[in-house]
Amino acid sequence: MGKESTRRAFLTTVGAAGVVSLAGCSSLPGGGGGNEPADPGGTNNSTSNTTTTTTNGGGGNGGNNAPGQSVVDFSNVQDWQPAAGKLSTTTDDVFQGDQSVVLEPKGENVAKITKTFFSDSGGESALDLSKHDLSLAAKIKKPNLKLQDSRMKIAVNVIAPAESAMVTAIRQFPRELDQWVRFDLGYTDKNGNPKLGNVTKIEIQVGPRQDGKKFKVLVDDLRKVPKANKGKVMLQFDDGFYTTYENAFPMLQERGWPGSAAIIPDAVNGENYVTDQQMREMSKAGWDIIGHYGKALSTINDEGQKQALQQVKQYLKVQGFKQGAKHFVLPNHRLNNAALKNIDEMFETAYLQGGSPNNAKAPSNPSFISRINGESIRGARRIIDMADEFNQLAVLYFHEIGDGDGWLPKADFQKILDHIEKKDVDVITPTQLINNK
């Protein structure tokens, strides 16, 4: 099946419409991937209906053909109450429909809006998420893309039915990306015992920027998509280090689980990296050998990006990893507009640091699947628990497994695997995800 037909089938499952540096990817500290709860918000401010003059960012991986069912299209901004910062609208830069909402801080370093869902006369909840996950479209307008520490967070609180019973979804965004993009709202934390069949309020909060600068975020098209019947976990090992084969591979083999090795073609057979034969052995055991690169794509011009991605894809195909050649892991967790477009055109799925789980049936944006740093036992356990309880997909990534300096000790990796085994989740590969297995 060709690339485009495979992608269409994937989305339809939920009713969709040169020599390089071997720096690899830099892991973010903390392991939880930015899963802390959202700030409560600040003071109330009046709603502004002014419009912002911007250039239309286009459909952004979904548009009017996005999967699922619309919950809020933001055509009636009066449904939302500002709880912090400033709320305005624009008709000049939308994801779909006639207008989008613009959020920006005003005195605070966050902006936050809320919407209440009232029960009907029969007592039925106006929003039932017991069998659905949420997805949202957003565009982050950054004042200075050269800042080194300016990742943005979008947090969504789903209150069901009170703040003592709610779930939180926090998604991190790469600093260079400033176009519309759809993403899943995977749950990163919970309070109490939420009843998702009876959602009474949704809160959307953007920020804070880690550099403390002012910002604007456009949001649009909140949707609900059918969730999987069971949670899933994906284990990815970046850069193709030899410890993936020597340590991680046999530990997963003992449990009958597959993994995914994200390899840098120019590093294979080098010192401290896997060999051709080792990759073939892992592939025969059910592992995906998937694409990776040794340099951040956002530091390369458009033509250079295309050449780099084509090299990775062609290498995997020639080596016999045709299924793995459909998947790519972003190096250094960095992504700009050109890279997102190029990856979307060449690969079935792409993965980057996002700090949250995803829809486990079919992620709403296969080119923007969120990963979590698995190298913290506490952070990994928490995200596995959330994937299990709410039937979502947790993608955990690792680097060196073993007893070296800065590596994740085998004993700690073993504890993470033990925790997965206690949960009612399937361990899958990217290929199994797109094949819905």
Query: CATH no. for residue 161?
Result: 2.60.120.260
Contact 160, 200 (CB under 8 A): yes
Residue type, 324: G
- Count of structural domains within the chain: 2
Same domain, 399 and 352: yes
Q: Is residue 54 part of a domain?
A: no
Same domain, 151 and 280: no
Beta bridge partners of 73: none
Q: Is residue 42 part of a domain?
A: no
pLDDT tens for each residue of 254-270: 999 999 999 999 999 99
**Which of 190, 225, 260 lies at the terminal end of a domain, its last residue?**
225
Same domain, 330 and 355: yes
Q: Is residue 44 part of a domain?
A: no
Q: Is residue 41 part of a domain?
A: no
Structural domain containing residue 234: 3-30+230-434
Same domain, 184 and 237: no
Q: How many CB atoms lie within 10 A of CB 212?
A: 11
- CATH number, domain of 415, equals 3.20.20.370
Task: Report pTM.
Answer: 0.86
Distances (CA, A) of 31 to 35, 286, 353, 409: 9, 27, 11, 14
User: d(Cα 156, Cα 149) in Å, to the nearest integer?
Assistant: 22
Same domain, 221 and 234: no
Same domain, 194 and 212: yes
The gap from C-alpha 308 to its chain's centroid, in whole angstroms, comes to: 23
Contact 298, 339 (CB under 8 A): yes
User: Please, which residues have CB within 8 angstroms of residue 278's CB and are 6 or more apart in sequence?
Assistant: 242, 245
Q: Is residue 350 part of a domain?
A: yes
User: d(Cα 223, Cα 95) in Å, to the nearest integer?
Assistant: 13
Same domain, 267 and 329: yes
Q: In a structure prediction context, what are the per-residue pLDDT tens digits for the chain, which is 437 residues long?
A: 444 434 434 433 333 333 333 334 533 222 333 333 333 333 333 333 333 333 333 334 444 466 789 998 898 888 899 999 999 999 999 999 999 999 998 877 889 999 999 876 555 668 999 999 999 999 988 755 555 445 688 999 999 999 999 999 999 988 888 899 999 999 999 999 999 999 999 999 998 776 667 788 999 999 999 999 999 999 999 999 999 999 999 999 999 999 999 999 999 999 999 999 999 999 999 999 999 999 999 999 999 999 999 999 999 999 999 999 999 999 988 899 999 999 999 999 999 999 999 999 999 999 999 999 999 999 999 999 999 999 999 999 999 999 989 999 999 999 999 999 999 999 999 999 999 86
**Which of 199, 225, 251 lies at the terminal end of a domain, its last residue?**
225
Residue type, 271: E
Q: Is residue 219 part of a domain?
A: yes
Q: Is residue 406 part of a domain?
A: yes
Same domain, 282 and 407: yes
Same domain, 196 and 243: no
**Which of 205, 225, 245 lies at the terminal end of a domain, its last residue?**
225
